[in-house]
A and B are shown apart, each in its own frame.
Chain A
Amino acid sequence: TQLLEQSPQFLSIQEGENLTVYCNSSSVFSSLQWYRQEPGEGPVLLVTVVTGGEVKKLKRLTFQFGDARKDSSLHITAAQPGDTGLYLCAGVFSSGSARQLTFGSGTQLTVLP
């Protein structure tokens, strides 16, 4: 069974602060994705990282994929209230031609004005 551990589970910060969310696994994934979900809506894809050591930036969000492709982090600089939401990491576990996303438990981020 492929598992992803995500931390912290809850994060409440003030506007303007920085934060980092971590996603770790004991297994190697072919790729890892980060999503953001609003209440009552489906997750929205933020980024896909594929290569070990890869770093991607999306405005104030920085995503890293570990060298061994077993862990990833999401760093938000100068958080804003609009960043509030559930952040999910998901690893692609490849089995033959099959494709399955294994999700972490999520980080509920609240940014206070």
Chain B
Amino acid sequence: KAGVTQTPRYLIKTRGQQVTLSCSPISGHRSVSWYQQTPGQGLQFLFEYFSETQRNKGNFPGRFSGRQFSNSRSEMNVSTLELGDSALYLCASSPGGTKTGAFFGQGTRLTVV
């Protein structure tokens, strides 16, 4: 069974630009979550999608948005990039429910210059 695939692996953007990250979950998994990881703040929850609906959202500004498609693939968009948005963005998929583990992709390393 293929794991979680995130593209691209690395990205360099300029302040003010926007970026779209992609995540393909494990086949059969309907829940996709996004996390931001930085050295200072650790892993922080961005949002979770289940069957194309956003079920929960973390404490991030509206510049961060996402969506999920009918095939469970998900995209995350960050508009008007700031230097502080530089981070490892991780996508995790799970079958759903609150008592199953999450399976993470390798992440997208975003650098904003």
Chain A interface residues toward B at CB < 8 A: 30-31, 33, 35, 40-45, 47-48, 50, 88, 90, 92, 94-95, 97-106
Q: Binding site of B, secondary structure by majority: helix, strand, loop or mixed?
A: strand
User: Quick one: closest B residue to A29, CB to CB?
Assistant: B98
Do A42 and B99 touch (CB < 8 A)?
no
Chain B interface residues toward A at CB < 8 A: 4, 31, 33, 35, 42-45, 48, 50, 55-56, 58, 88, 90, 92, 94, 96-107, 109
Cα(A7)–Cα(B42), bound, Å: 14
Do B100 and A95 touch (CB < 8 A)?
no
Cα(A99)–Cα(B56), bound, Å: 7
Do A30 and B106 touch (CB < 8 A)?
no
Do B43 and A100 touch (CB < 8 A)?
no
Do A98 and B48 touch (CB < 8 A)?
yes
Cα(A83)–Cα(B95), bound, Å: 28
Do A101 and B102 touch (CB < 8 A)?
yes
Chain A residue numbers with a CB within 8 Å of B104 are: 35, 42-45
User: Quick one: closest B residue to A30, CB to CB?
Assistant: B98
